[in-house]
Amino acid sequence: MFCKWCGKQVDDDTKFCPNCGKEILKDEKEVSDEKVSSTTEEEITTQNSANQVVEPVKEEKASDNQNTETVNETKSSDNSSTSEKVDIGFAILSFFIPLVGLIIFFVKKDKEPKTAKASGICAIVGFLLGIIISFIITFLVISGGLKMSEKMVDKSLNTFDKVIEKSDDVTDYNEENKDIDVSNDWDVYEFIVNGYEIELPCSYDDLKKATGFSMKSSDENSVLSNNYYTIVNMYKNDKLALYTEILNDTGGDAKYTEGKITRVSQSKYQVSNGADKIVFPGGLTAGEEITIDKIKELFGEPTDTNEYSSDGYESLTYTYNADTSWTTTNYFEIKVVNGVIDEITLDNRNYK
């Protein structure tokens, strides 16, 4: 059967046309083709218009729903991202400062359990790692300290051994020379320091061993030409202790330390500044009071005399010379200023 309105085929028992929605009348008179056609066209147009109006609305609603869902998803994504950043920040902070991580855990364990858990774990890891690093550093420090202590102990022991050896040498030397008395004969060229008896000329090593007097390192490394002599200062404990003359008669260029000590001279100034006193012939020492009569009593009349007087300054120099030539210089000289020995010199230089 066909619908009288739209012309579509419908089932016989259908009451309303599924296409145009009108009631189907089985005994209805035929409507003119023009009317049916016109009606049909109008209904179809109306129906299509209705469908077109409804569909955009549905699409718009769907679009709105999609936009809403997109917004919600974006917000959700933003919230998730923000939450993730917070978790990482707290986790890093908890790792480096475990105490802060512990506080974060207790504060956020109810409202933000994930953040609290992450902070707690990082705090524990950071704490344990800190303990391990502390143990390693402590071990390294203790090991380094022990090695340094061992080196210091070894160095101290070596220094102590050297001091003992030197003390033994001094003791032995003193035992050998403890009963030595200085001679009144100046031309034997002997003097005494700290119980050591030394005769000129002597070697630098002998003088250094007996007295502790030494040159500066720059002088020890200096070189002297053959058959030349030079004046060199000796020191002890960084204090000027003695003037010396060194002669090189080795036959070739030689260091100062390889030459002969041919002259020694000490002044009142050196003694007053803490230098060990040298006892010269006759038992004389720089800085002691003496009279001219006493000097003559000890050594007789001098070979040469030099006197100077000015405004309360009285200087007298007595020199005792042996027979000399151009190859030798042997003398004993005493300089007295205002009744006090200002300087004493003993010289025994002989060229080969």
Residue 47 included in any domain: no
Within-domain flag for 235: yes
Q: Is residue 79 part of a domain?
A: no
Give the span between the Cα atoms of 186 and 245, in whole angstroms. 18
Over residues 46-81, the pLDDT tens digits come to 454 544 444 444 444 444 555 555 445 545 444 444
Asked if the structure places residue 94 within a domain, the reply is no
Structural domain contains residue 283 = yes
Inside any domain, residue 146: no
Give 126-162 pLDDT, tens digit per residue.
889 889 998 899 888 887 777 776 777 676 666 656 5
Q: Which residue has the higher pLDDT, 161 or 343?
A: 343
Token representation of residue 291: 């009279």
pLDDT over 80 (residue 35): no
pLDDT of residue 168: 54
What stretches of the chain show up as alpha helix (H) in DSSP?
33-96, 98-108, 113-177, 204-211, 217-220, 268-272, 292-299
Which residue range is the domain that position 229 belongs to?
Answer: 186-350
Residue type, position 320, single letter: Y
In this prediction, residues 325-338 reach a mean pLDDT of 90
Count of the separate structural domains present in the chain: 1
Query: Which residues neighbour 145 within 8 Å (Cβ) at sequence distance 6 or greater?
Result: none
State pTM to two decimals.
Answer: 0.51
Residues 6+ apart with CB under 8 A from 12: 1
Query: For residue 144, is it within any domain?
Result: no
Q: Quick one: pLDDT at residue 81?
A: 45
pLDDT digits (tens, 9 = 90+) for 80-122: 444 445 567 777 877 888 888 778 888 877 888 887 888 888 8
Distance (Å, whole) CA 32 – CA 129: 99
- Give the pLDDT of residue 87: 67
Average pLDDT of the chain is: 79
Please state, in angstroms and rounded to a whole number, the distance separating the CA atoms of residues 46 and 331.
Answer: 154
> In the prediction, which pLDDT does 1 show?
73
Segment 258-262 shows an average pLDDT of 95
Tell me the mean pLDDT in the region 236-258: 94
Tell whether 156 is covered by a domain: no
